Amino acid sequence: MTLPNAGNTIVRATDWTPAERPGELLRAMVDDPAGYRTLLSKVPPGPLGEMHAHDTIEQIYVIDGDFYDDEASYGPGDFVLRMPGTQHRAGSRNGCTMLLVYAPLVAR
């Protein structure tokens, strides 16, 4: 992965910001205009919105708590990869912390 104007990035443990969804906190680590994003998400219990899709690959790694989508429930250590355009809705029964990585699909 090549990021334009890439340099050293430091994200402190206290660098959480409120998300659009009430109660959700985000800690952005990479947010590149080309579509590369890496962030931590602290999610409260409940649904995480309506059916939607992303225009990038979405990778989810559950750090703690629980997470669910239309296909299954996931716990600590579970990994989910969704291809661009995959319709889904998600939520958490008890709250969770997840590592989220978004990247554009690159043609080979």
Establish how many alpha carbons lie within 13 A of residue 93's alpha carbon, considering only the half-sphere containing its beta carbon.
7
pLDDT score at 8: 80
pLDDT score at 21: 84
Percent of the chain with pLDDT over 70: 94
pLDDT score at 5: 57
CB 21, CB 59: distance < 8 Å: no
Domains of the chain: 36-103 (2.60.120.10)
Residues 6+ apart with CB under 8 A from 36: 1, 3, 30, 102, 103, 104
Q: Does the pLDDT at position 60 exceed 90?
A: yes
